[in-house]
Amino acid sequence: MAHGQHRHRTQAKKQLNHLLAEVERPGASVTITRHGRPVARLVPVQPTPRTFGQLPNLFVPNDFDEPLSESEVTNWDAAEER
């Protein structure tokens, strides 16, 4: 099937698995029609890039990536042994 194909809603219903596989290809889309009029478009989902700090109320201290102190390492090791 070529990019930008049109399918009647009854065809789309019967061929849904095939159409889903088709729109996984970059640039592909399928327009679903009813009585010859477009009513929906099936397109691939564009992934949303995740950015650091998206979680609400998440506090990241300035020294987040600094080496742990000796006491922090000792506490960490002790916690792992439990």
Domain ranges of the chain: 5-42
Kindly tell me if the per-residue pLDDT of 73 is higher than 80: yes
Distances (CA, A) of 41 to 15, 28, 46, 66: 15, 10, 14, 49
The C-alpha angle 40, 46, 49, rounded to 5 degrees, equals: 150
- Higher-confidence residue of 31 and 46: namely 31
- Between CA 65 and CA 61 the distance in angstroms is 9
- Higher-confidence residue of 9 and 71: namely 71
Q: What percent of the chain has pLDDT above 70?
A: 94
The overall average pLDDT reported for the chain is: 84
Q: What pLDDT is attached to residue 2?
A: 43
Q: Would you say 47 and 27 are in contact if contact means Cβ atoms under 8 Å apart?
A: no
